[in-house]
Amino acid sequence: MRFDNSRESDNIEDRRGGGGGLPIGGKSIGLGTIVLALVAMYFGVDPSVVLNQAALSPSPQAETRSAAPPANDPETRFVRQVLGETEDTWQQIFKLNGRDYVAPTLVLFSGSTPTACGTGQAAMGPFYCPSDQKVYIDLSFYQELKSRFKAPGDFAQAYVIAHEVGHHVQNLLGISSKVMAARSRASEKESNALSVRLELQADCLAGVWAQNADKARAILEVGDVEEALRAATAIGDDALQKQAKGFAVPDSFTHGSSEQRVRWFKRGMESGQLGACNTFQAKML
């Protein structure tokens, strides 16, 4: 990615520096356990089961607590620049549609952190909380994206942020609250299907952002789009379930298959239009 014409967002809340482990019952668990919990969550297993088991197991030694990274470290600057790109792009798109865009705050944390949606944990992966309009990310996820999911690259990382900002856009447009209400009345299978449509729409919105940001400020380089597509493929529900237990259960999908996630990101990227992302009326996902 190129950030020659990009500004750094000020809407960053840095809560890092609390140590590398996640406190559970007075103990800290390591990154390996967090990764297992992350995978468990993706294929429908309560991650607290993994986390609680780790808390009951004796640890060979106490983890050392690390100082917070400096405010201008490369990872933080990258996040600031990507967030700034989403702000500038969505402000323009909303303006063209007669709306005002209210930017979210992005929270950097290590291990766990309080949110208006409950306690956020690294095991959950990056997420958006509509109640406080904040995106949360433990940057250790980027290492997992590279090493475990074989999806390296700066645009793969940017796609992750753009997807969560897509959820913020859904919240501002009133889509998230309608889906939440519908899911509360639905069966588990129907609720999962609604979740898939919400997530695929966020993928499409990430594509809309990428197309418009590149058109305005030429942020993309050769190979960037392929990086995002690899990331979308790697974190599809079917790919994660097969990696974790050898087979996939489509009725339990909550984010969409690899093919679906790639398709909807590409659709947003190719069109650059909000109207192309209506997954709720699409006959085929």
Q: Cα separation of 29 and 47, whole Å?
A: 13
Query: In terms of DSSP bridges, do strands 105-108 and 134-137 run parallel, antiparallel, or are they unpaired?
Result: parallel
**Which residue is associated with the tokens 């700034």?**
84
Are residues 220 and 162 in contact, defined by beta-carbon separation less than 8 angstroms? no
Q: Cα separation of 277 and 162, whole Å?
A: 14
pLDDT band, very low/low/confident/very high, at 163 (cuts 50, 70, 90): very high
Residue extents of the structural domains in the chain: 70-277
Are residues 238 and 258 in contact, defined by beta-carbon separation less than 8 angstroms? yes
- Per-residue pLDDT of 195-225, as tens digits, reads 999 999 999 999 999 999 999 999 999 999 9
Mean pLDDT to the nearest integer, 165-173? 98
Which residues have CB under 8 Å from 114's CB, separation 6+?
A: 120
Query: In terms of DSSP bridges, do strands 112-115 and 118-121 run parallel, antiparallel, or are they unpaired?
Result: antiparallel
Give the CA distances from residue 105 to residues 70, 129, 245, in Å, rounded to whole numbers and listed in that order.
Answer: 19, 10, 36
Mean pLDDT to the nearest integer, 256-264? 96
- Per-residue pLDDT of 13-41, as tens digits, reads 999 975 444 444 434 344 444 444 554 45
Q: Facing residues of 134 across strands? A: 105, 129
Mean pLDDT to the nearest integer, 38-55? 48
Which residues have CB under 8 Å from 145's CB, separation 6+?
A: 151, 152, 156, 157, 160, 231, 234
- Per-residue pLDDT of 95-153, as tens digits, reads 999 999 999 999 999 999 999 999 999 988 999 999 999 999 999 999 999 998 899 99
Report CA torsion sign: 46, 31, 109, 166.
negative
Q: Cα separation of 107 and 25, whole Å?
A: 24
